[in-house]
Chains A and B, each alone.
Chain A
C-alpha cells in the first residue's frame, strides 16, 4: 500500500498546506468589511475568495486527484500481488513503444492547439484538435492490437495475475482517454463551425483543460509503462 499512501500523502500535503496557509493567522471573530488587502484600484488580492480560477479548472484538478488515487491503488495492489509465488511476468509487446510515441504526439498536438488559442489562430486550433483526437484513436487501436498479440501468443487474462493486471491497467487507462475524447469532441464541435476567433473566445478554455488532461494521462502512462517493463 505504500504507493497509494505516497500519492495520498502528496495530495493531502497540498490540501493541508493550502488550508493552513489560509487559516493560521486569521482571527475569524473580528468583524470587518473584508479580510483581504485592497489595493488602490479597489482590486483585492485573491486570497479571500480563493484565486478567481475558473471553476472548471478546479474541478479538473479534483478529478485528476481522484484518478491518481485509482492508479496508485492499482499499482499498490500490483506490487502486493506480485510477491506471491505464482507471478509470471509477461513479455510486453514492442508495439507498446510505438503507442507511447503516438500518445506523446497527442499531447504535442493538443498543446499546439492551445498555443494557437493564445495566438488567436483559428486554423491552427482546428488542426491541433483534429490531429490530437486522431492520434488518441490511433493510440487506442494500437493498444487493442497489443492485446491481440498477447492473446494470440497465449497470454490470456486469467492465465496469470501479471496478465490480469496488464489488461486491467491498460483498459482503465484507455477508458480515461475515451472519457476525455468526449470532452474533446465537445470542444471540437464548438470550434469547428467558427469562422472568426472572436466567436469562440469564451469557449476556448476547454482546450486548455483538454491539454492538461492529456498531459496528465501521458504521465500516468509513462509511469505504468515503466512499471510494467520492470516487473
Chain B
C-alpha cells in the first residue's frame, strides 16, 4: 500500500477496540432493579446514599438537641448519644459521600463523559450496587440488635470499641465491621469497573489529556480507594478476630469490671496506624471528586477554559500520591517519636501546595470570566470559599504543637466539617442541579434552588464558625454533657443553643431541595438537551435523558473539554465532538454577519 498522507484535520481513525456488546434487559426486574445500565445503577446508588444520608442528618439533629439543651430530652441518654455520634460520622463519610461520589457520579459521568456505551463490566457493576445496598442494610440493622449500634466513634478505636462500657459491644460492633467488609468488597467491584472503563473504553480521540477534570478526579479517587480501603478491611478482620476468637492483635492486657481479661500485649496504636492509613486517603477520596466536579461547573458557568488544565491534572495526581504519607497527623497525641511528628507535619504541609494550586486555578478561572450566577455556580463558589476556610484550619492542625491542645476539641469538629462535610456537600448539590436537566430531562425550579443555596450556605457557617471558638476554649468533642469546668465559659451554653438552632434550620431547609427535585420530575419545564452550553460529551447525547447505550454512533473527539469563548467564534462554546472543519464553518458565520 502506498503511503497515504492523512489530512490531520478530518481524518477519522479506525476503531481499535470493538464496539461493546450491550446487555439488553428483558424483564422489568432486569431493567429497573437488577439493571446493568450504569445510569440506572448510578441513580440506585445515589438514592440509597442520600437515603442513609437523611438518617445521618436526623442523628446530627438529635445530637444537637442534647448539646444545645442538655438534660431536656429524656430519650437521649449517654449511650444513645455516643451511638448517634458514631453512626452519624460513619454514614456521612463512607455510606453517603464515598458511595455518592464514586458509585453515583462515577457511574453516571464516566461512561458518558468519555464517550463509552457503558461500564466495562456491567454485571460486576450491578453486583457492586447490591453489595453496597446489603452493607447499608447490615449497618442500619445494628440499631435494632440487642445492645444497639456501636458507640465507639467512627474511628472505632480499640480497646474501648470492644470492651464492656462502650455501647454496642455485643453485636453492634460486629455488624459495623461486617457492613464495612461488605461495603469494601462491593466497592472493589465497582472501583475496578471505573478504573478499567476510564483506561480502556475511551472513544476515539479522547486522549487522557482531553478528559474532563471530573473524570480525572473520579479516576484518581478510585485508585486511592482501591489501595486504601484494604487498610480498613485488614483492621476490620483483625478486630473481628480479637472480638470473636480472643486474639490479641490490638488488645493489650486489660482489666475489665475488676477481672483480668485474656488479652495481653496487643497494640491499640497499631490499629490507629491501620485505620488512618485508610482514613486520611479517605478524606481525599471524598474531596477529589468534589474538586473535579466543581472545576467543570466553574468552567461552564464562567464561560472560560479552566485555568491551568495540566496543572490541575498533575495536582490531582500529586495529591493522590501524597495522601498516603500523611496519615499520622491524626495521631499526634498517641505519644509518637518527635521526629515522626516532624516528618508527618512536613508532609502535611507539602500536600497543601498542590491543593493551593487548585484553589488558585479556580479563582483564576473566575477572574474576568463571563460569570453566570446560576444555581450550580453559586454552589461552586460557595465551595471555594468553604474549602479555603477548612484548608486554613488544616494548616494549623498539621503542626504538632498547635494540634496537641486542639486535638479532640470542637476545633477539629469545625475543621473537618468545613473541609469534608460542607464543602463536598455543596458540590453534591451544585452537581445535582447542574446535571439535573440531563438526568431527568426537566428543569428544576430556580427560585426554590436559590433559597436552598442561601439557607444551606449561610446556615452552615452559623453552625461551624462558632465551633472554632468553642474548640479554642477547650471544649472536648464526643461528650454527652459538659457540667462545670474551669475553662469553658458559662456563655458557651448559649452559643451551643444557637448552633443547635442553626443546625435544625439547615436540616429543615433541605426540604427545599427534596421538594424541588421531586416535584420538578413531574412538573418541571422540559429542559433543553444542553441548557448551559457545555462542551462535554454527556450534553451531546441524541436523547435527553440519555438512552440505553448513551450514543447512536460513538462520538469522535477532536478537542479538549474547555473550548469556551474561543476568539473568532460566535457561539461561546465548541463541543468536544465538533471537528476543526465544522468549527471553521461556525467561525465563518461570524464573519458574514
Complex contact B207–A35 (CB within 8 A): yes
Which of B195, B245, B265 contacts A161, CB < 8 Å?
B265
Complex contact B558–A11 (CB within 8 A): no
Q: Could you tell me the distance between the alpha carbons of A200 and B305 in the complex, rounded to whole angstroms?
A: 50
User: Does any Cβ of B come within 8 Å of A26's Cβ?
Assistant: yes
Q: Mark B1-36, 1 if CB is under 8 A from A, else 0.
A: 111101111111110110000000000000000000
**Which listed segment binds A: B222-230, B369-377, B430-438, B499-507?**
B222-230
Q: Which residues of chain B come closer than 8 Å to A50, judged between CB atoms?
A: 199-200, 202
User: Does any Cβ of A come within 8 Å of B133's Cβ?
Assistant: no
User: Does any Cβ of B come within 8 Å of A59's Cβ?
Assistant: yes
Q: Could you tell me the distance between the alpha carbons of A170 and B190 in the complex, rounded to whole angstroms?
A: 27
Beyond A38-B11, A158-B246, A158-B247, whether A80 also contacts B270 by CB under 8 A is yes
User: Does any Cβ of B come within 8 Å of A195's Cβ?
Assistant: no
- Residue in B closest to A164 when the chains form the complex, CB atoms: B247
Q: Could you tell me the distance between the alpha carbons of A86 and B265 in the complex, rounded to whole angstroms?
A: 6
Q: Could you tell me the distance between the alpha carbons of A42 and B187 in the complex, rounded to whole angstroms?
A: 40
Please give the distance in Å from A118's CB to the nearest CB on chain B. 22
| Number of A-B residue pairs at CB separation under 8 A | 198
Please give the distance in Å from A145's CB to the nearest CB on chain B. 20
- Residue in A closest to B325 when the chains form the complex, CB atoms: A5
Q: Could you tell me the distance between the alpha carbons of A41 and B200 in the complex, rounded to whole angstroms?
A: 22
Complex contact A62–B200 (CB within 8 A): no
Complex contact B560–A28 (CB within 8 A): yes
Complex contact B270–A77 (CB within 8 A): yes
Q: Which residues of chain A come closer than 8 Å to B205, judged between CB atoms?
A: 33-35, 48
Q: Which residues of chain B come closer than 8 Å to A33, judged between CB atoms?
A: 7-13, 205, 556, 558, 579-580
In B303-325, the 8 Å CB interface with A consists of 305, 309-310, 313-314, 317, 321, 324-325
Which of A38, A41, A52, A73 contacts B231, CB < 8 Å?
A73
Complex contact B247–A157 (CB within 8 A): yes
Complex contact B121–A55 (CB within 8 A): yes
Q: Which residues of chain A come closer than 8 Å to B17, judged between CB atoms?
A: 49, 52
Complex contact B16–A49 (CB within 8 A): yes
Complex contact A49–B202 (CB within 8 A): yes
Q: Which residues of chain A come closer than 8 Å to B402, judged between CB atoms?
A: none
**Which listed segment binds B: A14-22, A99-107, A203-211, A213-221?**
A14-22
In A163-208, the 8 Å CB interface with B consists of 164, 168, 172
Complex contact B270–A69 (CB within 8 A): no
Q: Which residues of chain A come closer than 8 Å to B8, judged between CB atoms?
A: 32-33
Q: Mark A29-53, 1 if CB is under 8 A from B, else 0.
A: 1011111101011111011111011
Q: Mark A49-67, 1 if CB is under 8 A from B, else 0.
A: 1101101101100110110
User: Does any Cβ of A come within 8 Å of B120's Cβ?
Assistant: yes
Q: Could you tell me the distance between the alpha carbons of A34 and B230 in the complex, rounded to whole angstroms?
A: 39
Q: Could you tell me the distance between the alpha carbons of A86 and B325 in the complex, rounded to whole angstroms?
A: 30
Q: Could you tell me the distance between the alpha carbons of A33 and B4 in the complex, rounded to whole angstroms?
A: 16
Complex contact A34–B208 (CB within 8 A): no
Q: Which residues of chain B come closer than 8 Å to A46, judged between CB atoms?
A: 16
User: Does any Cβ of A come within 8 Å of B137's Cβ?
Assistant: no
Complex contact B558–A49 (CB within 8 A): no
Q: How many residues of A contact B (CB 8 A)?
A: 58
Q: Which residues of chain A come closer than 8 Å to B559, judged between CB atoms?
A: 29, 31-32
User: Does any Cβ of A come within 8 Å of B301's Cβ?
Assistant: no
Which of A4, A48, A62, A77 contacts B238, CB < 8 Å?
A77
Q: Could you tell me the distance between the alpha carbons of A34 and B324 in the complex, rounded to whole angstroms?
A: 36
Q: How many residues of B contact A (CB 8 A)?
A: 79
- Residue in B closest to A80 when the chains form the complex, CB atoms: B270
Q: Which residues of chain B come closer than 8 Å to A40, judged between CB atoms?
A: 1-4
Q: Which residues of chain B come closer than 8 Å to A66, judged between CB atoms?
A: 188, 226-227, 230
User: Does any Cβ of B come within 8 Å of A81's Cβ?
Assistant: yes
Complex contact A73–B277 (CB within 8 A): yes
Beyond A49-B16, A69-B227, whether A12 also contacts B321 by CB under 8 A is yes
Complex contact B208–A55 (CB within 8 A): no
User: Does any Cβ of B come within 8 Å of A96's Cβ?
Assistant: no
Please give the distance in Å from A206's CB to the nearest CB on chain B. 13
User: Does any Cβ of B come within 8 Å of A134's Cβ?
Assistant: no
Complex contact B305–A29 (CB within 8 A): yes
Complex contact B200–A44 (CB within 8 A): no
Q: Could you tell me the distance between the alpha carbons of A38 and B264 in the complex, rounded to whole angstroms?
A: 67
Chain A interfacial positions (CB closer than 8 Å to B): 1, 4-5, 8, 11-12, 15-16, 19, 22-23, 26, 28-29, 31-36, 38, 40-44, 46-50, 52-53, 55-56, 58-59, 62-63, 65-66, 69-70, 73-74, 77, 80-81, 84-87, 157-158, 161, 164, 168, 172
15 further A-B contacts with Cβ under 8 Å, apart from A35-B210, A73-B231, are A12-B324, A19-B317, A23-B314, A31-B560, A31-B563, A31-B574, A33-B12, A34-B13, A35-B207, A44-B13, A59-B192, A65-B226, A73-B274, A87-B265, A172-B237
Give 30 A-B contacts (CB < 8 Å), ordered by A residue.
A15-B223, A19-B208, A23-B209, A28-B209, A31-B563, A31-B574, A33-B10, A33-B556, A33-B558, A34-B11, A35-B205, A40-B1, A49-B204, A49-B207, A50-B200, A52-B17, A53-B200, A55-B197, A55-B200, A56-B121, A58-B196, A58-B199, A63-B192, A66-B227, A74-B234, A80-B270, A85-B265, A157-B247, A158-B262, A161-B248
